Amino acid sequence: MLRITLPDGSSREVPEGSTLQDVAAEIGSRLAKQAVAGKINGRPADLAALVADGDRVEILTLTSDAGLEVYRHTAAHLMAHAVKDLFGDAIQVTIGPSIENGFYYDFYSPHHAFSPEDFERIEGRMQELVDADLPIVRDEVRRDQAVELFRSLGEEYKVQLIEELTEPVVSLYRQGDFVDLCRGPHLPRTGLIKAFKLTSVAGAYWRGDEKNAMLQRIYATAFPDNKQLRTHLARIEEARKRDHRRIGRELDLFSFNEEAGAGLVIWHPRGALLRTLLEDFERREHLRRGYDLVLGPQILKTELWQTSGHYDNYRENMYFTEVDGQSYGIKPMNCLSHMLIYKSHMRSYRDLPLRYFELGTVHRHEKSGVLHGLLRVRGFTQDDAHILCTPEQLDGEIKGVLAFVQDIMGIFGFEYEVEISTRPEKSIGTNQDWELATNALMGALKDSGLEFVINDGDGAFYGPKIDIKLKDALDRKWQCATIQCDFTLPERFDLNYIGADGEKHRPVMLHRVILGAIERFIGVLIEHFAGNFPLWISPVQAIIVNVTDNQAGYAEQVFHYLRDAGVRVEKDLRNEKLGFKIREAQMAKIPYMLVVGDNEMQSGTVAPRYRNGKNLDPMSAADFVQHVQDECSRYH
């Protein structure tokens, strides 16, 4: 008999030669039926994997994220199998991972361009493979044998992947006559996949590098049952309607132009006003919390980026230029200027903490394959701040930023989740500093009563970080606020303060953003509100529409009164039908339409109509100004 340990710490004896499936059956028939894979000593494994004496064993079901990942990765293989069956040697398979709520597979074909019209055929073949309930079998072979196999199949991308591996033995997964290179694990049979749908096709460069061949990426999703699939597809359709790129065009907020360059946003008047409103809001909120406004240059000498470690650890994401024979780096971050401001004077412990805030525009070289509207751009503005404090002040400063995030997310109505990202492989600084920084972040979160998960190895190269992932109206998660704890850069830049003992001491630095990139946050706002912005940040709060030309003069008077009173107002005095002008204003998602007819002109009022069609009682222009101010005051 073998003794194994279960996730709750209990132990169980099972016969020698038992698999994970046998363990599940030993625990209970219901678990055996629901099991899709497992973990042995923390490593994912197929249900057919053997357990050994002393192993820690976990059974995965579709109620867990890990179980769903196995399910969807198996569905990716199913899709690749179907594509190969239908298109044969005209297609090469590359990689097909699971992603949140679905999966994709990248294919190379110089002759066939996939289109949504192909989806029905592919789905039909996938269903035939499900109905066949093919066993999915893991096979381990020598690396040279795998190379020979895939070369014989004409799968040169698989050959390239295998040749880059260092392991002498690689794992393959077979189902019927289809074979794929994969670490696994997978479901034991194709018949366990119950509900799936192909959703879109897009271009993707091999390895994400625009210098490589263009592949075709088919996105799809899979769920344990059709009800969950239908719910998800309805959410996808709603997301399409809310796509910030489409709404941005319709509301004339921004554009991208290849003549300007990929990933560079051109803000139109209404969009520029929207971001100005957000930026002014940010400045007010930071000043209220004791931050100082600063501003650094766009380029800094390359030697400075070498000192900081960016040149060695972040160079591939930076742009460089040369002026008078001197190399400069265009800033991808704002921290260096802030440290130079700190160094411009000798600091005392009585001066700390210092909180420097900058709406700093940065540029980063994002690969063209990942650019996506406002959500992933090359030039953007961060609501960036750096807090320099004593080690004793660190806990309070982290908690202060967390409270700041909570306040701001509450104003916009966002819920959020928290994770801590730890030291990446490519990093600088001592283990002791990293441990101190990580413990400081964890301690502040625990004291604040915030639950968090650990994201191993995804910290910044100079320190661990707290990532705040907000959830929008469709329950999608977006990375915005970040708090990074840094003991390393103050050391590299020899930052000091004079302590109460009269000696020099090293400050700690917090890098943090609240909204993150303004461009990205506006993209999230557009999709969250479907373009129906709250009144306080609507670029246009009201539009005056007259019924006939008789009221044009009065409408002009109201327009100037409201504008002088601070209402962001436009006017539509065209000789068009009232219904047509109201529909256009509703399509533009303007919160209030102020109808002016003969009655309003005679009584000196306006008739407000909300964008959802609700009519308010007629009121004077002064009362409408007060109405706008009252509604805006509820948000900030």
In a domain, 248, yes or no: no
Residue 95 in this model has a pLDDT that exceeds 80: yes
Joined together, the tokens standing for residue 147 give: 């190379």
Do 348 and 485 lie in a common domain? Answer: yes
Residues 446 and 490 in one domain: yes
- Say yes or no: 57 and 78 in one domain: no
Task: Tell whether 502 and 590 lie within a shared domain.
Answer: no
- Band (pLDDT 50/70/90 cuts) for residue 459 is confident
pLDDT above 70 as % of the chain:
100
CATH label of the domain that carries residue 618: 3.40.50.800
Q: List C-alpha distances in Å: 569 to 539, 558, 608, 611.
A: 9, 10, 13, 14
pLDDT at site 299: 96
The domain boundary, picked from 476, 500, 529, lies at: 529
The answer to whether residue 81 is domain-embedded is yes
Q: What angle do CA 288, 438, 9 make, to 5 degrees?
A: 125
- Is 471 found in the same domain as 408? yes
The region, left, alpha or beta by phi > 0 then psi within -120 to 50, assigned to residue 530 is left
Please tell me whether residues 229 and 290 are part of one structural domain: no
- Residue 94: count other Cβ atoms within 10 Å of its Cβ: 22
Q: Are residues 282 and 140 in the same domain?
A: no
pLDDT of residue 456: 87
pLDDT at 369 > cutoff 80: no
Which distant-in-sequence residues (6+ apart) come within 8 Å of 283 by Cβ?
293, 357, 359
* 315, part of any domain: no
Domain-terminating residue out of 38, 61, 84: 61
pLDDT at 281 over 70: yes
Q: Is the pLDDT of residue 398 over 90?
A: yes
Reply yes or no on whether the pLDDT at 476 is more than 90: no
Active-site positions read 335, 364, 382, 384, 386, 465, 511
Domain boundary among 482, 506, 529: 529
| Confidence band, pLDDT 50/70/90 cuts, at residue 631 | very high
pLDDT in tens, 538-594: 999 999 999 999 999 999 999 999 999 999 999 999 999 999 999 999 999 999 999
Mean pLDDT of the 408-421 span: 92
* In-domain check, residue 262: no
Residue 101 in this model has a pLDDT that exceeds 90: no
- Please report how many Cα atoms fall inside a 13 Å half-sphere around the Cα of residue 50, on the Cβ side: 6
Same domain, 44 and 122: no
Q: Is 107:215 a contact under the CB 8 Å cutoff?
A: yes
Q: Which residues pair with 417 in a beta bridge?
A: 469
Counting the structural domains of the chain, the total is: 4
Q: Which of 111-120, 223-232, 461-470 has the highest mean pLDDT?
A: 223-232
Predicted pLDDT at 209: 79
Alpha-carbon span 242 to 529, nearest angstrom: 8
Is the domain of 96 the same as that of 46?
A: no
Residue 261 lies in a domain: no
Mean pLDDT, to the nearest integer, of 456-472?
88
Spatial separation of the C-alpha atoms in residues 511 and 506, rounded to whole Å: 16
Separation of CA 338 from chain center: 27
Average pLDDT of every residue of the chain = 93
Phi/psi of residue 508, each to 5°? -105, 145
Structural domain contains residue 94? yes
User: What's the pLDDT band for 426 if we cut at 50, 70, 90?
Assistant: confident
pLDDT at 636 over 80: no
Residue 313 within any structural domain of the chain: no
Of 468, 426, 474, 429, nearest in space to 448 by CA: 468
Per residue in 150-187, pLDDT (tens digit) is 999 999 999 999 999 999 999 999 999 999 999 999 99
Under a CB-based contact definition with an 8 Å cutoff, are residues 428 and 461 in contact? yes
Range of the domain at 12: 2-61
pTM: 0.80
399 and 275 both lie in a single domain: yes
Q: Assess whether 525 and 621 both reside in one domain.
A: no
Out of 334-338, 369-373, 378-382, least confident range? 369-373
- Which residues lie closer than 8 Å to 219 by C-beta, 6 or more apart? 102, 103, 104, 198, 199, 200, 201, 202
Give the residue among 262, 279, 315, 267 at the shortest CA–CA distance from 517. 279
Pair 48, 120 in one domain? no
Region 246-260: mean pLDDT is: 95
Task: Give the pLDDT band (50/70/90) at residue 124.
Answer: very high
Structural domain includes residue 570:
yes
Report the CATH number at residue 57. Answer: 3.10.20.30
CATH, residue 447:
3.30.930.10
